[in-house]
C-alpha cells in the first residue's frame, strides 16, 4: 500500500485524521490536495493559519502554475482571532466559534462548483475547543451530509485536545480513521478503519524539525542595548519604570490566565515550548551581564568555568537571588545542605505560577523560575567557554499539596522532564476551571482575584513577557495557541456573564474593569477599545528594534471571544505598540 492510495479519499466518505500536534496532519492534508487536484476541485477549510500560508506550503511541495481544478478556501482563522484580512475572490470568511457560519461558507463555495469535490478541513481542533460537543452535530449536518452528496471529506483533529469520549464519537461518525504519530525520524500512519483499505501501518521517513525558538531569539530583531533599562526597571524602582502611567507590575492572575489558556490549545507541546523558551531567556544573561553593577560583574569575572560544585552554586545564587524577589515572582532559596555536585535543589515560596492552585493534582511550574535558572547557568558557563546544557524539574509543588515548590537542577538531561511538562486535557480543564471560577467571583461579586502573604497580588512585567512567551519573537505554533486560547477564554467568560443575567453593556464594563484591575494597561472603551502601555505588546517595543504587524495575540483573541459571546461582534487590532503606535487599538466589525 502506498501513501498516494491513502490520500485518495473515496467519494461519499469522510476520513478523520487524528494525531498529536506536530505529527504531520497538515502536511498530509497538503499532500492530499496535490494528489487530488488533477481529478477534482478542492475546498480547503483553514482554522489555524491564513490561506496564503497554505498556498505557500503547496508551492513548496510542488504545486506550481495553473491548477487543473480550482482550490477555494474557507478562512475560519482571521475572524476567530481578530486579524485583518484582504478580500479574496476564492475565499469565504467564517469563524471557528460559529459552526453555522462554517457550514454556510462551505456550501457557498460548493454552489460555485459543478463537479464533485474534495473538502479538506484543517482542522476540527479549533471549532471543537470553542464549541465543545456541538462539533458532533456539525459533523453530521455539514461534513457527513457534504460527503453523502457524492463528495469526499478529509478532516483532521489534534489528539488529546479534549474529552476522550468526544474523540471516540467523532471517530465513530467517520467512515475512515487514520492515526498519525512521530517516532524518532519517521511518521507512522496507522489505518484504524477505511472503506477500501485494510488496517495496516505506513512508515514515512521524516527529518527532525527545530522548534524555531533559537533562530528567532538570535535574529536581528533583538536589541540588547535595552538590557540596562530592563535591569534598572526591575531593580531600580519606579524612577526607571517602562510604563509611567500604570507602573510595571500586573496582577499575577493575568499571566496565569494567558498561560493556561494557551495550554488548553496544545497541552502536549505548549508547555514544552514554554519551558524551552524560558530557558532561552535565561541564557540571555550572557548579553545582559554587561549592564549589571560593576561589583556583580567583578564577581562573575572571577567565577570558575564549572559552576557545578555546591559552594560555587551558592555564590552564584546569592548574586542572582534579589532579582526574583524584586520582580515578586517568588521567594527562592538554594538548599545547599540537600544539594551535591550534579544535583542541586531550590525552594520557591509564594511561587506566582502556582499560587491559588493548591492540590490540583500535578506539578505546575517546571518553567519560568526553574527553566530560567537552568538557562542562566548554561549562559554563564558559555561565557567561560564551557558548552553544557542544564535542565530543571519540579520535585515539590503547591499543585501537589506541598506548602512551597522545589525544583531539581542538573547538568545534562532529566529523564522525567518531558513527562512532567506534558499535561492531559483533563488536568488543563481543571486548571482553567479554577481560574474561571475565581474570575467570575471577581466579576460578579467583587471578590479579590489572588493575594499572597508577603509578595501581594502583583508581579513584574517580566512574568507577562514569559507568559506570552515573548510571543512576537517565537514560532507560529506558540502564537496560535495564544490566539486560540484567548478566544476560548474570552468566549467562556462572556457566556458565563450572560448566563448570570448581566446585560451586554454591563458585561463589557466589568471586563474593562478587570483589565484595569489587573493593570493590563490604560484602557478606554467607546467606538473602539484602546489600551495604552499594553503589557503584552510593550515587550516588543522594549526588546526589539522594529516589528511590522499587530502582536497582541492573547489580548485580541480574548476580546474577540468575549464580544462574539456578549454582542455577536468581532474585533480586529488595527494599531499596536509593537508597530510603533502610541497605543493598541481594536475596531469592531
Give 87-109 pLDDT, tens digit per residue. Answer: 899 999 999 999 999 999 999 99
Output the nine-digit C-alpha cell for 176.
475512515
Amino acid 201: pLDDT: 92
Amino acid 217: pLDDT: 46
Instruction: Return left, alpha or beta for 542; rule: phi > 0 is left, psi -120 to 50 is alpha, else beta.
Output: alpha
Neighbours of 295 (CB within 10 A): 8
Output the furthest CA–CA distance in the chain (Å, rounded): 77
Amino acid 41: pLDDT: 96
- Residue ranges of the chain with per-residue pLDDT less than 50: 211-222, 224-226
High-pLDDT (> 70) share of the chain, %: 88
Give the tens place of pLDDT for each residue, 234-266.
555 555 567 878 888 999 999 999 999 999 888
Amino acid 232: pLDDT: 58
Give me the phi and psi of 587, to 5 degrees please.
Answer: -100, 155
Neighbours of 202 (CB within 10 A): 18
Amino acid 285: pLDDT: 66
Amino acid 184: pLDDT: 78
Q: Show the domains of the chain with their CATH numbers.
A: 3-205 (3.40.50.300)
**Pairwise CA distance, residues 426 & 424, whole Å:** 6
Handedness of CA 222, 224, 225, 228 (dihedral sign): positive
Amino acid 531: pLDDT: 96
Are the CB atoms for 127 and 98 separated by under 8 Å?
no
Amino acid 84: pLDDT: 79
**Pairwise CA distance, residues 207 & 413, whole Å:** 22
Least Cα distance to 488 among 224, 144, 207, 258 occurs for 258
Rounded-to-10 torsion of CA 370, 373, 377, 380: 160
Output the nine-digit C-alpha cell for 269.
507541546
Least Cα distance to 53 among 36, 73, 39, 32 occurs for 73
**Pairwise CA distance, residues 455 & 140, whole Å:** 52
Amino acid at each position: 500500500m502506498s501513501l498516494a492510495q491513502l490520500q485518495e479519499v473515496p467519494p461519499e466518505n469522510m476520513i478523520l485524521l487524528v494525531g498529536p500536534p506536530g505529527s504531520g496532519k497538515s502536511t498530509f492534508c497538503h499532500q492530499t490536495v496535490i494528489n487530488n487536484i488533477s481529478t477534482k476541485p478542492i475546498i480547503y477549510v483553514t482554522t489555524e493559519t491564513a490561506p496564503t500560508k497554505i498556498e505557500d506550503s503547496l508551492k513548496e511541495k510542488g504545486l506550481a502554475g495553473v491548477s487543473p481544478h480550482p482550490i477555494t478556501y474557507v478562512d475560519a482563522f482571521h475572524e476567530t482571532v481578530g486579524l485583518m484580512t484582504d478580500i479574496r475572490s476564492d475565499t469565504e470568511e467564517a469563524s471557528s466559534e460559529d459552526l453555522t457560519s462554517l457550514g454556510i461558507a462551505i456550501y457557498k463555495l460548493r454552489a460555485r462548483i459543478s463537479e464533485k469535490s474534495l473538502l479538506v478541513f484543517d482542522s476540527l481542533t479549533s471549532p471543537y475547543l470553542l464549541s465543545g460537543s456541538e462539533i458532533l452535530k456539525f459533523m453530521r449536518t455539514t461534513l457527513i451530509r457534504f460527503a453523502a452528496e457524492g463528495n469526499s471529506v478529509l478532516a483532521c483533529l489534534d489528539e488529546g485536545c479534549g474529552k476522550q469520549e468526544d474523540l471516540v464519537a467523532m471517530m465513530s461518525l467517520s467512515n475512515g480513521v487514520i492515526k498519525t504519530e512521530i517516532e524518532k525520524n519517521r511518521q507512522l500512519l496507522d489505518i484504524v478503519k477505511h472503506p477500501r483499505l485494510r488496517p495496516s501501518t505506513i512508515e514515512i521517513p521524516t527529518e527532525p524539525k527545530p522548534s524555531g525558538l533559537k533562530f528567532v531569539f538570535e535574529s536581528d530583531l533583538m536589541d540588547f542595548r535595552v538590557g540596562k533599562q530592563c535591569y534598572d526597571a526591575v531593580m531600580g524602582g519606579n524612577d526607571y519604570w517602562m510604563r509611567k502611567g500604570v507602573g510595571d507590575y500586573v496582577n499575577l492572575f493575568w499571566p496565569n490566565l494567558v498561560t493556561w489558556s494557551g495550554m488548553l490549545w496544545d497541552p502536549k507541546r505548549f508547555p514544552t515550548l514554554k519551558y524551552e523558551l524560558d530557558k532561552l531567556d535565561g541564557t540571555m544573561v550572557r548579553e545582559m551581564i554587561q549592564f549589571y553593577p560593576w561589583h556583580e560583574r567583578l564577581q562573575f569575572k572571577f567565577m570558575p568555568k564549572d559552576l557545578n560544585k555546591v559552594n560555587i552554586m551558592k555564590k552564584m545564587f546569592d548574586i542572582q537571588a534579589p532579582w526574583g524577589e524584586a520582580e515578586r515572582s517568588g521567594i527562592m532559596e538554594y538548599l545547599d545542605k540537600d544539594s551535591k555536585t550534579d544535583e542541586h535543589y531550590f525552594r520557591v515560596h509564594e511561587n506566582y505560577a502556582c499560587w491559588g492552585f493548591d492540590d490540583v493534582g500535578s506539578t505546575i511550574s517546571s518553567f519560568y523560575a526553574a527553566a530560567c535558572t537552568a538557562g542562566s547557568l548554561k549562559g554563564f558557563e558559555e561565557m567561560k567557554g564551557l558548552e553544557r546544557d542544564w535542565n530543571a524539574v519540579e520535585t515539590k509543588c503547591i499543585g501537589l499539596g506541598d506548602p512551597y515548590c522545589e525544583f531539581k537542577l542538573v547538568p545534562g538531561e532529566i529523564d522525567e522532564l518531558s513527562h512532567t511538562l506534558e499535561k492531559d486535557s483533563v488536568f488543563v480543564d481543571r486548571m482553567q476551571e479554577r481560574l474561571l471560577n475565581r474570575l467570575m467571583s471577581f466579576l460578579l461579586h467583587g471578590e479579590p482575584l489572588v493575594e499572597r502573604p508577603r509578595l501581594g497580588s502583583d508581579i513584574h512585567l517580566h512574568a507577562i513577557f514569559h507568559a506570552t512567551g515573548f510571543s512576537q519573537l517565537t514560532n507560529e505554533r506558540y502564537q496560535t495557541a495564544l490566539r486560540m486560547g484567548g478566544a476560548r477564554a474570552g468566549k467562556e467568560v462572556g457566556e458565563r456573564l450572560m448566563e448570570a443575567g448581566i446585560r451586554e453593556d454591563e458585561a463589557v464594563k466589568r471586563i474593562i474593569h478587570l483589565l484595569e484591575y489587573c493593570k493590563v494597561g490604560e484602557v478606554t472603551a467607546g467606538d473602539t477599545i484602546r489600551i495604552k502601555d499594553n503589557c503584552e505588546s510593550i515587550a516588543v517595543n522594549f526588546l526589539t528594534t522594529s516589528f511590522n504587524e499587530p502582536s497582541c495575540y492573547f489580548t485580541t483573541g480574548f476580546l474577540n471571544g468575549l464580544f462574539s459571546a456578549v454582542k455577536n461582534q468581532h474585533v480586529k487590532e488595527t494599531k499596536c505598540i509593537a508597530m510603533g503606535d502610541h497605543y493598541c487599538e481594536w475596531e469592531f466589525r
